[in-house]
Amino acid sequence: MQIFHTQCYFHYIDSNSNEATGGSNNGILQLERKVHRPLVFVHDVGKLSTFFRGMNDKELFMNIVALGILIITIIVNICIQAAIGYGLAFAMANISLSIFLLLCPFWVAFIVPASRRVLEHQYRELHQSDIKNCYQINFSSTELVHHVKKYWVMAETGNPQFVLACSPFCSASGLICSFGVICSILQFLYQSRYPSFFLDGNSDYRWSINVIQTTQSIGILVGSIAPVLRSITLVNYFNLSYLWSINRINMFRVEKHWTQRLREWKCIHVTSNIPGRHLKKVLNHVKNMILNFCITLQVTLVVVCKAICFVPTCIILLFYCFCHFCISLLKRFGKDSSASDNDLRLEIEEYIGYVLQIEDEAKLTNRTLRNMLRSITKLLHKSEKEQPRNLLKLLERSTGFSGVVEFDNDQVPPLYPDETHNCWSLVAITLTVIALALPNIENSRVKGLLASINEGLQFVRHIEETLNVNSELVKARKTGRRIWTEVEVYYSWLEIDLQNKAFKGKSSEKILRWLGDEAVKIVIEFKRSKKRSVDDSLHKVIAAGSMYRISQTILLHCNEQESWPTDVELFEWISTIVADLFWACFTNLPRVITQKCHHDAIEKRGESIRTAAQLLGKSKRILNILEQRQLPDLDQESMAYIDKWQAIPKSQIPNGCASPTPSSSSNESLIVTIMQISQTILFHCNQQENWPADEELFEWISTIIADLLCACFTNLPRVITLRCHDDAMEKRGESIRTAAQLLGKSKRILSFLEERQLPDSDQESMAYIDKWQTLPKSQIPNGCASLTTSSSSNESLIVTIV
């Protein structure tokens, strides 16, 4: 605030010095300077709106006093200049315009905090009603996208900057800036046609005066673009309802929130050390008099702003009403609305209830809300294209969550009694360090693992920063971040080279024992050291404790096997453990995305929701896989901590969903199906008088397949109809395109089916082959001509397949 005060003051001093040396015979130049001074200052005043939005009462009062001192100084300066040589009429106009522009920051200082309080109350009410639905884990990306968009609409419409942009102050400043643009254009035209009037040779600045005036004109022109466009498009923000139009035109209607903060200050009793009841009474009366004057001034400023905007507002309202009438006629006599327009209308109706507004009559237009939703949708689509491919390859190794309990064994004692709790990132990094230290591993495998871990840690850090706020877990998280930088860049752990040539001749067992011994040495050195409070040493001890337990656990696991695994097998086993660890950690993603959509600080909500949208877009495929997995019996709070996962008995941890490769159960069912069909074919051939020839058997099986497909294709109309509808709004267009392609390709098939007689069965039953099999063979119609030239083409043969 002090910097702004100084900048404005020196700006006026510079303007005065230019006038003092410009000569008395340069009337046009003086006129231009007199007009430019307040117009240049209005752009500086506009910057104040961002300073007041986050202030409390004490800060607001101190800054208003500082601003008042500045205003008094500049007004006195203008009055002195008017008394020296300006005309009285022009001096009064100049002073009035300057006073109005200088008092506008007072207007902003009171409206922003009051508006913020109203919007914050509405936001908390919507947040409290929405938080009741967030107690259950929901991996549905569609629901999470809906949640992100809801909070994005609340954050955008609840931003004080948006409220200020929709206020009469911005409209008035835009019109004043328009006046400045006109003056700048006229000055440029005069300067081009009569250069002698602008350079008389009496000034010490000489030619630099033209440069100064041109620079000021360009500055006003460029700085006026945004306010002018904002004042023009302000009407387009809101629906042209009758009440809203009347309120905009009624310049003497001053809403309560303009003076709410001042009225609240009147109700506050002034505490002071002044003795005596009468003195305190006088002080209270003086305070109320000052506040009453401020309230009157505030109301006056609002009325003046509305009066300035009266005529332009009426013109713009008439123009938009005419446009609205023309559009309505085109819609009435034009074509019906398309599917995309209907989807857009449904989406807007879905989110219109989450718009925050101060005035109930001021309803946002569909266009404004659509632009808000389009910006967050674009961010979601952009993030979806940035899928973590290396991480997904690593996650394909996992089929469950068993690795969460396998990396740590209770038989391994802690190195020191006050050992820090584990966190997700530290365990994953420690396992990666051990994998890098293993010998005889191809470089491509190592680079692939590092790339996968790097992508996975980006998600893990969001989860830990949001949910793991315990002080011990924060220390472990910071330790993991320090170690990972060293591992990723230098392939080292606590200044120990993991790919040292000395390791090449050693076995994986010796390397694991050596890593455990190094961890023990670090802890012993820390205990002997007198500087235990050193932050670097503490991080080394935390990393050493994690390395010791995990390396010893891996040694126990390998010793329990019939034979010691090879280096590649051990590397793959560690990679699978990390994948299981990541899956368990990623079960917290829906909760993290939901919590990131909410932020107590109003200034940080927009950025927090953008982070949640990016996290949702990148993790969409991960969430789709987790939606199909069976989760352990853990509550939401416990799932955020790795220690809670370790406390689950291994027998109670589900194996998850099917592996990317075919499972043994699916293979068994496939074998059973093949055996049943082959036995049915044998039974059919044995019933014939003579065993059919190979070509006859081939033709008979082809006919069976043709009849099977015909029976299946009877469901095509229902499928095409269902494809035309999708619950996910973003997928409706693509789903309808698929339905259109399917209809085009199956047109001839549907024509054949239209001529066939169908069995007496409902639509639901026709979708299942088992329902067809239960039909008696005598009740299955023979149909009409087949798609092929075979004479025995009818659906009755479908019973023969089993």
Amino acid at 494: L
- Give the mean pLDDT of 578-602: 91
The tokens describing 761, both together, are 């069965």
Closest CA to 479 of 548, 415, 555, 536: 536
Q: Between the ranges 152-161, 511-520, 597-606, 734-743, where is the mean pLDDT highest?
A: 511-520
Burial class (CB in 10 A: 0-12, 13-18, 19+), 404: buried
pTM of the full predicted structure? 0.68
Closest CA to 144 of 468, 592, 629, 459: 592
- The dihedrals phi and psi of 760, each to the nearest 5 degrees, come to -80, 85
Phi-psi region of 691 (alpha: psi -120 to 50; beta: other; left: phi over 0): beta
The tokens describing 512, both together, are 């694991």
Closest CA to 188 of 208, 225, 216, 207: 216
Residue with tokens 């266009």: 367
- H-helix segments, 407-495: 424-437, 443-467, 471-490
Q: How far apart are the first and last CA of the chain?
A: 86
Quickly state the pLDDT bin for 621 (edges 50, 70, 90): very high
> Is the predicted pLDDT of residue 724 greater than 80, yes or no?
yes
CB 579 within 8 A of CB 399: no
Residue with tokens 């240049």: 40
Mean pLDDT of the chain: 75
User: Of 37-51, 263-277, 471-485, which range is least confident?
Assistant: 37-51
pLDDT at 83: 63
- What would the 3-class secondary structure string for 59-87 be? HHHHHHHHHHHHHHHHHHHHHHHHHHHCC
**E strand residue ranges, 416-541:** 492-493, 496-497
pLDDT at 623: 92
- H-helix segments, 529-604: 535-560, 567-586, 589-596
> Is the predicted pLDDT of residue 690 greater than 70, yes or no?
yes
- The dihedrals phi and psi of 492, each to the nearest 5 degrees, come to -140, 160
pLDDT at 388: 92
% of residues, the chain, pLDDT over 90:
17
Distance, in Å, from the CA atom of 755 to the CA atom of 786, rounded to the nearest integer, reads 10
The number of beta carbons lying within 10 Å of the beta carbon of residue 33 is 20
497: which DSSP letter?
Answer: E
Distance, in Å, from the CA atom of 29 to the CA atom of 22, rounded to the nearest integer, reads 8
pLDDT at 455: 95
Quickly state the pLDDT bin for 791 (edges 50, 70, 90): very low
Contacts of 22 (CB under 8 A, 6+ apart): 29, 30, 33, 202, 203, 205, 209
The tokens describing 634, both together, are 């853990």
> Is the predicted pLDDT of residue 613 greater than 70, yes or no?
yes
> Is the predicted pLDDT of residue 764 greater than 80, yes or no?
no
pLDDT at 406: 87
Distance, in Å, from the CA atom of 228 to the CA atom of 231, rounded to the nearest integer, reads 5
Quickly state the pLDDT bin for 334 (edges 50, 70, 90): low
Contacts of 298 (CB under 8 A, 6+ apart): 106, 107, 110, 258, 259, 262
Of 798 and 362, more confident: 362
- Give the mean pLDDT of 121-135: 77
